[in-house]
Structure 1
Amino acid sequence: MESSECFFFPGSIPHHQCLERWGGMKPTWCVRLQEELMEEYSKEEFQMKLSAGWHATDETVEKHAWRQKVCLEVQSQVLPKYGFYGTRQGVWASGKACSIMHCPDQDRLNEINNNYCFMNWLTNPDDVESDRPHGFETSNYAFRPSPKEGDAHVNGYRIVVTQPEHDMAIFDIAHCQGALAGAHQSTYSSLYPQIELPQWFGPLGCKSIREALDRGVLILHAEVAETGRAVGYISCTCLFGGASKSNGDEDASGPLVNINNIVVLKQHRGKGVGKMLYDELMEHLHEACPSVCNDMRICVAARNDRAKDWYERLGFVEYDRWTVFPNGCPVEFIRMQRSMDGDDFDDIFA
């Protein structure tokens, strides 16, 4: 075929080595493209950011606009390596080039189709948090309503101490962190619309779980008994020389434990998961480092009344306040300290 007879979809890079002269993608390169995208989509940072925007709104169109934006940030870096511009048109062209691809190897074609389904799953938080495996039945060809609080129907949960080799749990915890940031974005958006979603990660302590584990942070996660998927977590830092100055808290001289976060995905709330996480943490600390249990601390955003009430029911009381300034906006946090054992706690929120 002469070069004048070549065809490439708008958004394709003409005559790229990954493309056939008639515009289709070469199967081997298609798989490599999928593998690189899947690797990027599976990373903690991507999943946390995707989940944050998804949980920051109840509007389905806004959720998918955020999904498209975050995915394009990855696609714009990857697609040019495989024959497409890093634009929305390039994304469209990649889909068209794959749809007309000539692939006589049925096993390779099945692999490509499975990868496509897995990428859809990786980039849809509702599917990821549904406990369903990826597949055609979960591909989001139409907008579906997100699950509501307490919607999950499961037979039980178990609490597990998170380890570096728990890849799936770390993936799921990134979603929980995103849900936490998204909830704060939603709470403060009317007051401070200039705060951008990623600016919540620092104040809320939403960082890499793997790096936290390497630093000695203790993390426990709640997983669904049938599937092993993590749907909530609690993390804490034990301090043996007094309170950390990182949050401005210097009001302590003895050992203490700072609870960084307690998070449960909304569809699993109202089932006692939060209390299970807290109780298991207490039991673990009493066995591993009992000296810190006499002084337990936690911080909560001042406008997060529900969480504050929940902590009070656990036996925490306010003792101080501090302010952070995401994008220059004053956001007040309440420091709380446990003043009772909380054994008579009757959970209705977790």
Structure 2
Amino acid sequence: MQLLFLPLIFNSSMSFFGFGQSAEIDIVLNDAETRKKAEHKSEDGRKDKYFLFYDGETVSGKVNVTLKYHGKRLEHNGIKIEFIGQIELYYDRGNHHEFVSLVKDLARPGELTQSQTFDFEFTHVEKPYESYTGQNVKLRYFLRAAVSRRLNDISKEQDIVVHTLSTYPELNSSIKMEVGIEDCLHIEFEYNKSKYHLKDVIVGKIYFLLVRIKIRHMEIDIIKRETTGTGPNIYHENDTIAKYEIMDGAPVRGESIPIRLFLAGYEMTPTMRDINKKFSVRYYLNLVLIDEEERRYFKQQEITLWRKGDIVRKSMSHQAVIASQRFEGSSNQEKPRSQSHNEDDS
């Protein structure tokens, strides 16, 4: 007897033995039409725009569950939405370190006979860290809605971007450093301050006090250093964000060179120190001198970067006031204070 094997054709829109997704989920924020969006880089370097939030703001909206097949019921073990903030280290992708995890149950176990919309609200949500995608680490916030089923859940995620706004006290000391090689070279350089907002201008001056070697080239680099891991498993990644040529040619004793470096044109984040004990992002000004024999001399100084909010406080919602007070209550002269939820574009 000859057996006849017929090919089995499976269409992605069909429910194969009931295992396929018979519904679609969509997450819509209540203020989607008016909320500002911010550009954020993904792991592959692509830039996309996401809804922008700040610490203490409420996240609310609707979850739409749309049944694909008219007249067919959807049995489920509950419907929920989560607000999650997590850190993922690329060398340990199996483990997601959650620092915010909130859950709202939208429906008890049962069945849906038609498409349905569920409202949700996460009130005054704490978002303590800035969204970040680096070379070895990613910090993200997202909403995840899920219809729980016996065999396969139906879920949808939507990322948002969080910016941390702050202001430093007026006390912002200047940076003074010296580069010296005994009896050969003595240079002093001074920057107007040590803390800069992301659209600030670095103003400084370099003084040549003793020059007995032939300097051919001098530049200032902005170095970003990303540190991940702890103990023996610590990783440092240095990235040169900017190069600013100060001088091309030989200086003479007594000469001074002004520096004016605009930060707004570069992609940088605020300084991030020991974020959830998982990673740090720091920035350095690196002075580089090259002599005629191609020898290189370096001097490095850390600077603090921060994201500037409005200087004058505007009328704030109740939730913004709560967030602001919470940050100000724990601040000191070296820790930035939370500002109102408006970024200063100047």
* Structure whose residues are more often helix by fraction: 1
TM-score (norm 2): 0.29
TM-score (norm 1): 0.29
